[in-house]
Amino acid sequence: MQETALTRHPNALPNDQTAPSNRSIVLVGLMGVGKTTIGRRLAHQLGLDFVDADEEIEKAAGCSIADIFERFGEYGFRDGERRVMHRLMAGARQVIATGGGAFVDAATRALILAEGLAVWLDADIDILVDRTAKRNTRPLLQTGDPREVLMRLAEARKPFYQQAHIHISSNRSPHDVTVQSILGALKDRMTIQPPVTNGNSNAPVEIPVNIAGKPYTVEIGAGLLATAGIRLRPYLKSRTVIVTDNSVAGLYLVNLDRQLKEQGVDVSHIILPAGEAAKNFTELSAILSHLVDRGIDRADAIIALGGGVVGDITGFAASILRRGCRFIQIPTTLLAQVDSSVGGKTAINLPQGKNLVGSFHQPCFVLADTAVLDTLPRRQLLAGYAEIVKYGLINDAAFFDWLEANGQAVLASNSTERTYAIEMSVRAKAAIVAKDETESSGVRELLNLGHTFGHALEAATGFSDALLHGEAVAIGIVLAFDYSCELGLCPAADAVRVRHHFKSVGLRTSLIPWLATSGEALVQYMMQDKKIRSGALPFLLAHGIGQTYLEHTVDLAHVTHFLDKALAS
Ligand SMILES: NC(=O)c1ccc[n+]([C@@H]2O[C@H](COP(=O)([O-])OP(=O)(O)OC[C@H]3O[C@@H](n4cnc5c(N)ncnc54)[C@H](O)[C@@H]3O)[C@@H](O)[C@H]2O)c1
């Protein structure tokens, strides 16, 4: 009779019942038990990637495991394994097969138990002897009689394997049966979802951001902040710092702080003044000092709770603290949810211009609760909406069509249209930044549609509340389309549609009448743009809706003339 026993270990961790569904599944157990084959099939069933930790170690070392043992001994191998496991566990959710000794190493075991779902695959020694005899390249089996070695290892490692969250005993079962057993056990655990408190029982949308070597997940949904403690726990060690601003703090800080404390995390906060002015060296220095005083190190993750300002400065602080610690984004404005929290651009401003000091540093997790947008002032909501429209105009004409029909619904409180628009925007941004993380191949630049004109307008208004970033982007996009028409690149009808849509939702589409500036002054501001290479400023122009491209040969004298005309009208 086939035997496939499934047992929950009685000594499961205290957080056992709340292990969230976004953890990687880590197969542990003795060599020969089938971790790789079963892991591959399990990953296929779950629609996840599969990774074999031993293969990753070999790739990193540039030689076989047998060679690593020979040259560096078991100690050297475990050290490499620890580093590889850290990298794998910091990545997107996947199925990971580990080497037989990985879970015996205290540091690796602690990491897997804290951040993953450990599944102990177990089988009788006879079966293991049969299986390992077929591929006897394992260094530890070269040291004596394989049966004796396996028995000794089984005995010595059992107390460690027993600590896994799930125990599956496969024996002679076909691998597919074992996979079904694991799926059943996982389902058991994953149906224990945290409560959703706003009455909307929809599961969050999970969007992977597949940036090479540093993938992460964006979770989007209404009411997610109510369960943020559980959702964030896998990314946190024993302590964290929440950076927020004084508007957001009054609304959401106490709740988040309480939840994290309930999860056993030691939390402190830094509260910045609300608004763009906080993105400066003085606030950065205060954040860094606090992080150092609190003993935050590279393994810790700090939390940005707020809009783009909080996200940008917190991300930058995380990128330079001890040459880089991890951070989590909890974006609370529409602009931050659809744009700034994803993609890893971090920055502060200088008196000479915006975002002039910064870095590319990806968050390890983004939690976007769409319900918090209900407390956002309408003007801020509209500013964020401009960035949503941008994604349709860049390369998704069908999404722009949809926005024309559903724009007002997207702006309405807690609508499914809003969640959909945020999801589409994050997917669009994730796809672009995955291709060009550091804006170096001309792909990510597409996200700057409307930003060259927009930044000049922001500069002309002193980066003040007179013109919010998203408002400037909306006017900038209209100018980019009008200018594309002027150059004969874009049908006039498309430019009219763009202008009309922004107007229809209540966004300004023309240069501000009281703005005492000139085409020349605006072009001078543009020359501060970070996209400038050897004095040439590339422009985002359009052949039509959904057909944005990067143009390197724009004549700035012509742009000056165009802007003078726009200002005069
Ligand atoms: N890193 C990037 O890729 C990127 C992309 C776009 C913009 N940005 C940056 O983002 C910044 C603009 O971000 P923003 O528009 O979110 O501005 P913001 O962070 O200043 O937030 C706007 C205002 O809304 C308040 N607020 C935030 N959440 C709230 C909520 N849920 N309820 C009530 N009030 C709330 C804030 O306190 C603030 O007063 C700019 O500095 C811009 O340069 C960065």
Instruction: Kindly indicate the confidence band of residue 4, based on its pLDDT and cuts at 50, 70 and 90.
Output: very low
Instruction: Kindly indicate the confidence band of residue 144, based on its pLDDT and cuts at 50, 70 and 90.
Output: low
Please give the mean pLDDT across all residues of the chain: 88
pLDDT at 21: 62
306 touches ligand 1 (CB under 6 Å):
yes
Best probe residue, ligand 1, of 316, 335, 366 (max atoms within 8 Å of C-beta): 335
Mean pLDDT in residue range 63-84: 85
Ligand 1 atom with minimal separation from the 279 CA = 41
pLDDT at 464: 83
Q: Which DSSP helix (H) or strand (E) runs through 95?
A: strand 94-97
Best probe residue, ligand 1, of 380, 418, 468 (max atoms within 8 Å of C-beta): 380
Residue 104 has pLDDT above 70, yes or no: yes
For ligand 1, atom 12, the nearest C-alpha belongs to: 308
113 vs 119: CA distance, rounded Å: 10
Catalytic entry in 58, 219, 387, 471: 387
- Would you call 501 helix, strand, or coil by DSSP? helix
pLDDT at 298: 92
355 touches ligand 1 (CB under 6 Å):
yes
Among 183-192, 228-237, 360-369, the range of highest mean pLDDT? 360-369
Rounded percentage of the chain residues whose pLDDT exceeds 70: 91
Mean pLDDT in residue range 39-55: 93
For ligand 1, atom 22, the nearest C-alpha belongs to: 307
For ligand 1, atom 3, the nearest C-alpha belongs to: 340
Concerning whether 439 is annotated as a catalytic residue, the answer is: yes
Exposure string of 309-337, with b = 16+ CB inside 10 Å and e = fewer, is: bbbbbbbbbbbebeeebbbbbbbbbbbbb
Among 120-129, 141-150, 301-310, the range of highest mean pLDDT? 301-310
Distance 309 CA to ligand 1 centre (A): 5
For ligand 1, atom 5, the nearest C-alpha belongs to: 340
pTM: 0.69
Q: Which DSSP helix (H) or strand (E) runs through 327?
A: strand 326-331
For ligand 1, atom 4, the nearest C-alpha belongs to: 340
Mean pLDDT in residue range 530-536: 73
Distance 18 CA to ligand 1 centre (A): 32
Distance 336 CA to ligand 1 centre (A): 6
pLDDT at 249: 95
Concerning whether 81 is annotated as a catalytic residue, the answer is: no
Nearest CA to 274 among 241, 296, 251, 240? 251
Distance 458 CA to ligand 1 centre (A): 15
Instruction: Kindly indicate the confidence band of residue 8, based on its pLDDT and cuts at 50, 70 and 90.
Output: very low
Ligand 1 atom with minimal separation from the 252 CA = 31
332 touches ligand 1 (CB under 6 Å):
yes
375 touches ligand 1 (CB under 6 Å):
yes
Type of residue at 321? L
Mean pLDDT in residue range 141-155: 78
Concerning whether 379 is annotated as a catalytic residue, the answer is: no
Residue 192 has pLDDT above 50, yes or no: no
Concerning whether 455 is annotated as a catalytic residue, the answer is: yes
- Per residue in 301-357, pLDDT (tens digit) is 999 999 999 999 999 999 999 999 999 999 999 999 999 999 999 999 988 778 989
pLDDT at 3: 30
pLDDT at 194: 33
Best probe residue, ligand 1, of 305, 309, 426, 436 (max atoms within 8 Å of C-beta): 309
Residue 484 has pLDDT above 80, yes or no: yes
Catalytic entry in 231, 354, 429, 499: 429
471 touches ligand 1 (CB under 6 Å):
no
Mean pLDDT in residue range 448-465: 90
Instruction: Kindly indicate the confidence band of residue 5, based on its pLDDT and cuts at 50, 70 and 90.
Output: very low
pLDDT at 160: 82
Q: What is the 3-state secondary structure (H, E, C) of 37-90?
A: HHHHHHHHHHCCEEEEHHHHHHHHHCCCHHHHHHHHHHHHHHHHHHHHHHHHHH
Distance 308 CA to ligand 1 centre (A): 4
Across 6-20, 70-84, 488-502, least confident range? 6-20
Instruction: Kindly indicate the confidence band of residue 193, based on its pLDDT and cuts at 50, 70 and 90.
Output: very low
Across 18-32, 442-456, 555-569, least confident range? 18-32
**What's the N-to-C CA distance of the chain in angstroms?**
86
Between 134 and 432, the higher pLDDT residue = 432
390 touches ligand 1 (CB under 6 Å):
no
Instruction: Kindly indicate the confidence band of residue 468, based on its pLDDT and cuts at 50, 70 and 90.
Output: very high
Distance 335 CA to ligand 1 centre (A): 6
Q: Count CA atoms closer than 13 A to 306's CA, side-chain side.
A: 31
pLDDT at 1: 30
162 touches ligand 1 (CB under 6 Å):
no
Q: What is the 3-state secondary structure (H, E, C) of 165-206?
A: CEEEECCCCCHHHHHHHHHHHHHHHHCCCCCCCCCCCCCCEE
pLDDT at 202: 52
- Per residue in 244-294, pLDDT (tens digit) is 999 999 999 999 999 999 999 999 999 999 999 999 999 999 999 999 999
What are the tokens at 139? 């260094």
Type of residue at 32? G
Residue 72 has pLDDT above 90, yes or no: no
Domains of the chain and any CATH numbers: 5-190 (3.40.50.300), 205-376 (3.40.50.1970), 434-568 (1.20.1090.10)
pLDDT at 514: 67
pLDDT at 188: 65
pLDDT at 139: 59
